[in-house]
Structure 1
Amino acid sequence: MRAWHQFYPALPASQRSEQLRAGFGALIGISLCAALVSLGATWAGPELFLVAPLGATAVLVFCVPNSPLAQPWSAIVGNVTSALIALLAIRFVPAPWTAGMAVGTAIAAMMVMRALHPPGGAVALLMALDPALALEAGPVFALMPVGVTTAALVLAAIIYNRMTGRAYPFRHPDADGVQDPALRLGLSTEQLGALLERFNQSTNVGIADLGRLLAAAEAEAAQHRFAGTTCADIMTKNLITVQPGTTLTEAAQLFRAHAIKSLPVVEEGMRLRGLVLQSDLLAPMAAGSGFGAQQQIAAPCTVADVMRAADCAAPHDLAVGVLLNRLAVQGTEVIPVERDGRLVGILTRSDMIRLLLSGAEERSAA
């Protein structure tokens, strides 16, 4: 019985909503292509018609739109390239080797073009089995009907997938390599690509989606790891704050007196304006401003001039595990914690270390 398990379905059960979404999308896409063929008959003649492999393309672009095999470049270029290769095989390769040569060479050509698309193999085989139309049309056959109908189906998939909440075309990493750091897990685009190559999955999953999957898995694991602990549970609540008009001299004195590493900048009602770290005061010091009791600080002279943006604040009820990567890998030193738009605490690496040590003691006792 164990041997038979490897023949069981490999795909997990899909949600009913996804079944309906994908099936209805394919219905719409193929129907629109059929309508295009019908309307185009008046100006394109019999050269424009549906080809059977278009059904396989519909499966990819509507069921697995995040797959690299389903992307517009793969679909259009893959089908067109396969048609051109098959036409060459029909003309120059004798039977019974025509079909095998057409399909095998089409696959190799698609891989060279970085346009691997499984229906392209079906396009090549269809032409090898029934070459009359392809020979009559010549190279134009690759553009019409193959290229035109594939492009129409891809266009329908782009509109439909986006309307139903699916990302299509594929989400490529930014050209400059900059991505949301929360989704990077400390791994570069090159490292994520290397992981896909190591497990031979580069044709199944894209780099951007792998990063999102890993980030989601890390966040889920972190929430389990800390048993639902939130920022409010471990944050530092007794805060020492400054106002935008506080001078740099006063801020330096607070740093020395209280052995703290950050000063939240707040306005009336504890509304967070920014954050000042010890390092933010080093530039004025290096410029010769000085912080002696008898010295006056030249511009910049207030914390408002040197504070950093407060866009990294976290809600009080956020699970601390979500912030673990930000504190541990991305170099963040302190995270302000807000509730209803008001500053209520500060989360630091020290707070996280205390939580980790507390968990270690509990595990040792168990």
Structure 2
Amino acid sequence: MISRRHSPLQHALRVLGPAIAAVPPVEALRAGLGALIGLGVAGLLVLSPGLDLRLGLYMIAPFGATSVLIFAVPNSPLAQPWSAVVGNTLAAVVGILVVRLVEDPALRIALAVGLSVVALSLARAVHPPAGAVAMTAAMNPDAIHELGFRFALAPVAVGSALLVVVGIAYAHLTGRRYPFRHYDDERAHRTADHPAVERLGLSEAELTDILRRYRQSLNLGVEDLARLIGAAEMQAASHQAGPLTAADIMSRDLVTVHPDTPLSEVADLFRLHAFTSLPVVDGSDRFLGVIFQLHLIRRAREDSLHLKMDFAAAMARLLDPEREAPVRAADIMAVGTPRVAPTTPVSALLPLLAENESDAVPVMTQDRTIVGIVTQTDLIAALARQHLRVSLASRVA
């Protein structure tokens, strides 16, 4: 396998580069047009010729950020109506209270934003533009003293609600879904049953726990997580079509030894690769036998009993490359172990690995050339994938 290493500069550029998947131009235009319409409608209804606009409080800048969320990422939990309306309004209230209590400008701004974050989190209404709402209030104390809590009502609550209403209508007209559906919403068939690919065997509480465990509850909803897991399962299952064979699941990058390989080298290979078995082949890669770690232990145990020494000493003697007649692979390899062809069905491998003293079965061609090996780990993974494929097929059916 070729390992591609990046230079420090390349790594830095990758880290600092975009983390968001490429957006189709049509989707970008759809989101931009929605923001234009949303802000246009909000501006027409919120702005009033009779109000003093010099401070920009009536068509406030945070509405632009709210529009980005509602029209560009409508599935985000941060963009949902509760987060947008309650989040912005609650932040405005916090900002107004801080303005009334704190005189120092720097401390006032920091407190307004920090306390808003706490309040939004407790109210489950986290909405990033809300921090800017609190900051806007804290930076304009004169206007806030004049308007009081009316600022939280209009323009903040009214403007946020208008953006949400336009967002709902625009999503419907452009074939999108906003607000996003909740996990227990009624489905397309007017029942509570989830689509086949979303029946994961996981409860809403378990999915919620996954989001919390990986700290993704602000980025993804439970419903979206179910849809993504289901889609990933289907994609994975599609990689394997038809009945599995030994060739589909076998390990191909083999580590082999020759008949005259000393056991000291065999033990080193076991330790280096963490294998439990090693095929023994001749110079043409024709299979001769297999060595299992159990063979080393069994031989050392026999030597310890025969020579009346402890097991550790017997093992050291067995692996000693300097002994007068070093023990080699051919001396302890098993030659009567099961072996299969590349076309052998996976179902036929189960009894071979479950009922014998081996945890690996060599895969070879008719001329005894070894082309792979199937371990118990390979088989377990294959059975899991096969079970998944059958389960998904029954769901779709």
Instruction: Tell me if TM exceeds 0.5.
Output: yes
Q: Distance in 2 between matches of 1:147 and 1:76?
A: 6
Q: Which runs of 4+ in 1 moved over 4 A?
A: 45-48, 175-178, 320-323
Could you tell me how far apart the structure 2 residues matched to 1:228 and 1:124 are?
61
Q: What's the counterpart of residue 102 of structure 2?
A: 93
Alignment deviations for residues 298-335 of structure 1 (CA, whole Å, 9 cap, x no partner) = xxxxxxxxxxxxxxxxxxxxxx999733567x7x9xx5
Corresponding position of 2:141: 131
Distance in 2 (CA, whole Å) between partners of 1:88 and 1:195 is 37
Match of residue 235 from structure 1? none
**In structure 2, what is the equivalent of residue 190 of structure 1?**
205
Measured after TM superposition, the shift of residue 216 of structure 1 is 1.2
Secondary structure at 1:6 match in 2: helix
Aligned counterparts of 2:76 and 2:111: Cα–Cα separation in 1: 27
CA distance in 2 between counterparts of 1:182 and 1:59 reads 31
The aligned amino acid for 1:197 is: R
Tell me how far apart the structure 2 counterparts of residues 164 and 150 of structure 1 sit (CA, whole Å).
Answer: 21
Q: Deviations over 1:94-144 (max 9, x none)?
A: 313100000000011011110000000000111111122222111111011
CA distance in 2, matches of 1:100, 1:151: 26
Q: Give the equivalent residue in structure 2 for 1:180.
A: 195
For residue 192 of structure 1, give the secondary structure of its aligned residue in structure 2. helix
Distance 1:49 1:117 in 2: 19
Q: Deviations over 1:227-261 (max 9, x none)?
A: 699xxxxxxxxxxxxxxxxxxxxxxxxxxxxxxxx
Corresponding residue of 1:201: 216
1:137–1:191 distance in 2 versus 1, CA, 3 Å: same
The structure having more radius of gyration, on CA atoms, is: 2
- Asked if structure 2 preserves the Cα contact closer than 8 Å seen for 1:86 and 1:128, the reply is yes
Alignment check: 8 A CA contact 2:95 2:137 kept: yes
The DSSP-based 3-state class of the residue aligned with 1:27 is helix
List aligned pairs for 1:66-85, cutoff 5 A: 66-85=75-94
Q: Please list, as runs of the form range in 1=range in 2, the aligned pairs for 1:38-187 lying within 5 A after superposition.
A: 38=47, 41=49, 49-95=58-104, 96-174=106-184, 179-187=194-202
Structure-2 change in CA distance of 1:112 and 1:213 (3 Å): same
Determine the C-alpha separation between the residues in 2 that align with 1:34 and 1:112: 30
Q: For the residues of structure 2 that align with 1:159 and 1:166, how far apart are their CA atoms?
A: 10
**Whole-angstrom distance in 2 between the partners of 1:111 and 1:196:** 16
State the distance in 2 between where 1:54 and 1:46 align.
Answer: 18
- Give the distance between the partners of 2:79 and 2:39, measured in 1 at CA: 16
2:39 aligned to which of 24, 30, 37: 30
Question: What's 1:349 paired with?
Answer: none
> Which segment drifts farther, 60-69 or 216-225?
216-225
Match of 1:8 in 2: 17
The percentage of aligned residue pairs carrying the same residue is 43
1:20 to 25, 29, 53: 29
Partner Cα distance (1:178, 1:129) in 2: 50
CA distance, structure 1, for counterparts of residue 138 and residue 159 of structure 2: 20
Deviation at 1:223, TM superposition (A): 1.3
Match of 1:325 in 2: 391
Give per-residue Cα distances to partners, 1:5-41, cap 9 Å, x unaligned.
2111111211111111101110111111112135x55
Q: Closer, same or farther in 2 for the Cα pair 1:37/1:175, shift >3 Å?
A: closer
RMSD: 2.7
Q: Is the 8 A contact 1:68 1:74 kept in 2?
A: yes
Q: Which amino acid aligns with 1:190?
A: A
Structure 1 SS opposite 2:170: helix
The 2-side partners of 1:228 and 1:51 are apart by: 61
Aligned pair count reads 238
Structure 2 vs 1, CA of residues 228 and 101 (structure 1 numbering), >3 Å: closer, same or farther? farther
Question: What TM-score do you get using the length of structure 1 for normalisation?
Answer: 0.60
**Range 23-32 or range 90-99, more displaced:** 90-99
CA pair 322-98 structure 1, distance change in 2 beyond 3 A = same
Matched residue SS, 2:239: helix
Structure 2: runs of 5+ lacking an equivalent: 1-8, 187-191, 245-385
Looking at structure 2, the residues matched to 84 and 69 of structure 1 have their Cα atoms a distance apart, in angstroms, of 19
- Structure 1 segment 341-352 matched on structure 2, within 5 A: none
Note the C-alpha offset of 1:182. Answer: 3.2
The amino acid across from 2:202 in the alignment is L
- Give the structure 1 partner of residue 239 of structure 2: 224
Matched to 1:26, the amino acid is: A
- Any conservation in 1 of the 2:197–2:234 contact (CA below 8 Å)? no
For structure 1, the 5+ residue unaligned runs are 230-319, 336-366
After TM superposition, the score normalised by the length of structure 2 is 0.56
Structure 2 vs 1, CA of residues 85 and 189 (structure 1 numbering), >3 Å: closer, same or farther?
Answer: same
| SS of match in other structure, 1:225 | coil
Q: Residues 185 and 325 of structure 1 are in contact (CA less than 8 Å); yes or no, is this contact kept in structure 2?
A: no
